[in-house]
Homo-oligomer: A and B are copies of this chain.
Amino acid sequence: MLDQIVFIAGVTVLGVLEQAYFSLQVIYARRKFSVSPPSTSGPPGFERVYRAQANCSEYFPLFITILWVSGVFFSQGLSSICGLLYIYGRYLYFKGYAKSAHGRLAPLYFSAKVLWVLIGFSALGILGFLCRSYLGLDVVQLASAA
């Protein structure tokens, strides 16, 4: 059982570590630019780091959720690889956004594409499972026979 989720679990831990790293960067930026809580506004250099972490936090639950559905219903291996790519894309997003607002765009498009792939995998996995279980059709087998 656990061997079917262990790699996704590993990618999940890496994702949590990355979020922890982003949070620490916000704490350092608060010190560097003297922006004390509860304030969240300050010089652009601070606001970009603050927003980069906020944006990654906002997408984190979407990422983890779809990573697991895709990993359980479609393929653990492919989902884990996508997961690593997403985490890497978010790292580039954070670094890029911290430098300039424009720097966030390319990595954002990249990580959004990876997310769409995971959404596609999840949909395929669930539909394939429903076809097999309730219609007795093995779509993958049909496709390779055709």
Contacts and interface: CB of A to CB of B under 8 A. Distances in A.
Interface string A71-109: 011000000000000000000000001000100100000
Interface in A1-60: 2-3, 5-6, 9-10, 12-13, 15-17, 19-20, 23, 36-40, 44, 47-48, 50-51, 54, 57-58, 60
Interface residues of A, number: 47
A126 B47 contact: no
Nearest to A69: B9
Contacts of A10: 126
B66 A119 contact: no
Please name the 8 residue pairs, one residue from A and one from B, whose CB atoms are nearest each other, closest first.
Answer: A38-B51, A38-B47, A61-B61, A57-B58, A38-B48, A9-B69, A13-B122, A37-B101
Interface of A: 2-3, 5-6, 9-10, 12-13, 15-17, 19-20, 23, 36-40, 44, 47-48, 50-51, 54, 57-58, 60-62, 64-66, 69, 72-73, 97, 101, 104, 115, 119, 122-123, 126, 129-130, 133
